[in-house]
Amino acid sequence: MIRVHGADTIPFLQGQLSNDLTRLAPEHALLAGYHNPQGRTIAVIRLLWLGAQDVIAVLPRELASTVAARLAKFVLRAKVKIADESTAWRAFGVIDAETAADALASMGAPAATPHALVGKARWLIVLPADSPVGALLNGDPREWHRLDVASAQAQVFAATSEEFVAQMLNLDALDAVSFEKGCYTGQEVIARAHYRGRVKRRLQRFVTRAPQTLAPGDSGKLSDGRPFKVVDAVQLDDGRCEFLAVAETGSAEAPPAPPAPPAPRAPLAPPAPSAPSDTATLEADSLPLPYMLPE
């Protein structure tokens, strides 16, 4: 959790992040990318409203201190304070709540609690670390992670920070990029990819055909010859791995692969999974994205 507050919070973040910060409101959280000057994504951030000039930015903890320090370098004369407050807050996920009111009521949280819709009937709720609310919740975080991957929600971790341009992570399809707002860091590269040419590599969903362990940053080749790099991955109960990876859209011109064997049934004791090397060929099937990509 990075907290940004002060009289110039919105103008400052407007010049740093890919989304339009004027859209941020108590009832409207934002997903945004933080990019380097080459348009590569440093972090994917979810912004929640704390007050008129007070914002909490939610991102992987391993990136929080780095991103906070990097943002602080550009404050200059702006009236803004930036701090890594990861220990001061806790994030809770609520699944299968149709509205924000339902999600907050299920936790007994006040109506003004910062929250964000992060998928179909899934809500992220942020509370002070010492709040008694949510103390009795006992859900499995792995289920939340599984739904993140199934919904093709892009994320960046330390292993993949500054690896991908915004469109490679489908941030444009996830409403995390505004092409109408003013300039921000990396905007020129991202806008050029949007207006001048088709993006050839994008985040896609896959599932391995055999037990496998994958992690962000792993790379290799698919059976049709396309190189890929893993963005996020989750282990299934039968040892297989469902994962998000950036790869060329469509199939590469490669010899047809032999017919795939039937998907194995879940063994009682799955064989030890292995991770691919950069040159390994990974047998995996494509899965549909739950949203449309821009043409």
pLDDT means per 10 residues, the chain with 295 residues, are: 96 96 94 97 97 95 96 93 96 93 91 93 93 73 94 96 97 96 93 86 97 96 95 96 94 45 48 55 95 88
Per-residue pLDDT at 254: 39
Is 156 domain-assigned? no
Least Cα distance to 36 among 192, 184, 154, 140 occurs for 184
> Which amino acid makes up residue 190?
I
Q: Which region, left, alpha or beta, applies to residue 6 given φ > 0 means left and ψ of -120 to 50 means alpha?
A: left
Domain count, the chain: 2
Per-residue pLDDT at 269: 45
146 shares a domain with 10:
yes
Per-residue pLDDT at 283: 96
Which domain range does residue 10 map to?
2-150
220 shares a domain with 111:
no
Per-residue pLDDT at 253: 41
Per-residue pLDDT at 257: 43
Tell me the pTM: 0.87
3-state secondary structure (DSSP) of residue 74: coil
Domain final residue pick, 150, 168, 191: 150
Domain final residue pick, 88, 115, 150: 150
Distance in angstroms (rounded) separating the CA atoms of residues 280 and 274: 11
